[in-house]
Structures are given as C-alpha cells and as structure tokens.
Amino acid sequence: MVKLIPDTNFLIYLAKYKLLDKIENYELWLLKPVLQELISISKGDRENAEDRNAASLTLQFLDKIQAKTKYIENVEGKADDAILELAVRENCLVGTMDKELIERLKKEKIKILIVRQKKLLEEK
C-alpha cells in the first residue's frame, strides 16, 4: 500500500470536491499538527462555513479509515518541514496544494498528489 502524507489544505480540498474516497486505498501518514489544524478549523468561527464543514467531513472520514492511518505524534517545527523530512526518509507520496511545498518536494524528487479540475492527479 502506498504511503501518503497529506497536508491540511489538501484534505480540505478533497472534502470540498467529494474526493476523500479517492484516498481510501492509501496508507495515510497523518502528522499531529495537520490533525490539530483540522480540529481547530472544524470548531472555529474564523473560518468560513464551507471550510468548517469540509474539516468536519475530513475528521469523519479519518475516523472511518483509522485502521489505515498512521498518526505521527512527535513533530517539531513547521508542518511543511516535517512533511518534507518524513517524505524523504520514508519515500512517501505527499498530498498538497501548497506551491512552495510542491517546489521543495520536486527538488527532492518526491511524488506529489494534487487536486486539479476536481480530480486527483499525481505529479512527479
């Protein structure tokens, strides 16, 4: 099973476009800061309703696929740095929409999963 490290916005995009089921066949490696951010967005009053709903849907989805999810607790520093470091160390696919992170991942030759035109696409 392919390991996938998603960032928060990637998961939010998947929920908004009803694509969460497209990542069911991956082994998710979820960083603690990403989970915490999803929880915060789902409860927050600063975010718009669409993001709150998407975060809530994502949390429900993560509960459903808990057996295929590895939670990475000991993360220090910025989430993007931790995602990059873990992807390099474990040779994982990364799900992100963050242009800066995408450029950093490409330099390390890490495969990237993105959402484009409401479809899941792999970039190299």
> What is the CATH classification number for the domain harbouring 113?
3.40.50.1010
pLDDT at site 124: 58
The more confident residue out of 47 and 24 is: 24
Quote the domain boundaries for residue 53: 3-123
Give the pLDDT confidence of 63-87 residue by residue, as tens digits: 999 989 999 998 877 889 999 999 9
Instruction: Work out how many domains the chain is built from and give that number.
Output: 1
The more confident residue out of 110 and 121 is: 110
Give the whole-angstrom CA distance, residue 52 versus residue 79.
20
Average pLDDT, the chain: 92
- Whole-prediction pTM value? 0.92
47 has pLDDT over 80 = no
